[in-house]
Amino acid sequence: MSLWADKYRPTTLDQLTYHKGLTQQLKQMAVSENIPHMLFYGPSGAGKKTRITAILREIFGPGVEKLKVDERQFATPSRRKMVFTIVSSNFHLELNPSDLGVYDRVIVQDVIKDIAQSKQIDANAKHQFKVVIIDQADELTREAQAALRRTMEKHTSTMRLILCCNSLSKIIAPVRSRCLLIRVARPSQREVSSALQLVAQHEKFLLPPELALNIAQHTQCNLRASLLALESTAVRRTNLNDVQKPDRVDWEILISKIAKMIIEEQTPAKLLAVRGHLYELITHCIQPSLVLKNLSFELAKSMDDKMKRVVIEKAAFHEHRMRKGQKHIFHLEAFVASIMHEYKCYRTGV
């Protein structure tokens, strides 16, 4: 049994229901003899990975869906052994080097280079090159991105790179200039509502149009989050006609609780309690950057304009440090501690 977001995920370009112009461009590119390196960028939940999978199927056929998961081991310059996961088919590989932090450069230099030097397994394939998909490319260190640029130049004949990221500003200019930039914007509220209605028809229940629009508005048109919110609400409620707004997911409720704890009391004991909740979010695979963003917004809701500016400044500072460091809990806790200090000084007038 799979989640609706995975169960009803389109597998071909023809199944995509929005951004028709972009879909047509990808179709034309798939039949082209000269396929460039590509960089898909846009907000989370817009459909970047779905379109990448769909264009690979258009290029190589249904064989790209026969996936296997491998764990490979490599040694760092300090001889420390590390393991990373690769999802692959006969035609492509998908990996996320940013999971390894400062060691992502080793993956880019050695592993991707080895992949690029190997030949296509299927001799009858239309294109005799492999595709390497790098997810969360904007989380790569600058050293890894520089190594990636060199790999792109040297192994163009045997490999194509498809990068996927949320923020184009974090990708260095030499990498951007060597890729075809493809922006995937989030769908409109009406398009998200239509997608939710389609899922409701397949699952054989009635979804009120007002609730579908409220879900799209609540998730800020993040289609994946909208499907998760719909599934969560439909499982908990037998009759959706009386439901006006979707149920909040557990991690959002916990972040609201953390924000309330910070505002109510600014003590070391309260900071320790908050740390426990932050650990809980991280262990449940909630991205630390998402925790920081949502916590900042929750805090800003309960503060005046002066403190809102302080919260945003602190969030930007610690988000930058989180990107350069490895232990995310340290930076999240430092953000909370700094907000507690600033808010207590503001309240007491010190």
Between 223-236 and 189-203, two packed helices, what is the crossing angle to 10 degrees? 40
Residue 198 pLDDT more than 80? yes
111-122 pLDDT, tens digit per residue, is 777 776 666 555
Q: How many Å apart are CA 248 and CA 230, to the nearest integer?
A: 10
Per-residue pLDDT at 338: 92
Residue 256 pLDDT more than 80? yes
How would DSSP label each residue in 296-322?
HHHHHHTS-HHHHHHHHHHHHHHHHHH
CA–centroid distance for 39 within its chain = 14
Helix (H) or strand (E) holding 161: strand 159-165
Q: How many Å apart are CA 161 and CA 36, to the nearest integer?
A: 8
Residue 350's pLDDT band (cuts 50, 70, 90):
low
Residue 125 pLDDT more than 60? no
174-191 pLDDT, tens digit per residue, is 888 888 899 998 888 899
Which tokens go with 139? 């989380």
Q: Closest by alpha carbon to 158, among 120, 121, 187, 122?
A: 120
Per-residue pLDDT at 335: 92
Per-residue pLDDT at 337: 92
Q: How many Å apart are CA 78 and CA 83, to the nearest integer?
A: 15
Residue 35 pLDDT more than 80? yes
Residue 296's pLDDT band (cuts 50, 70, 90):
very high
Summary mean pLDDT of the chain = 83
Answer whether 95's CB lies under 8 Å from 133's CB: yes
Q: Beta strand pairing status for 92-95 and 130-134? A: parallel
Question: pTM, whole model, 2 decimals?
Answer: 0.78
Residue 102's pLDDT band (cuts 50, 70, 90):
low
Per-residue pLDDT at 118: 65
Q: How many Å apart are CA 104 and CA 99, to the nearest integer?
A: 8
Per-residue pLDDT at 76: 67
Q: Mean pLDDT throughout 242-250?
A: 73
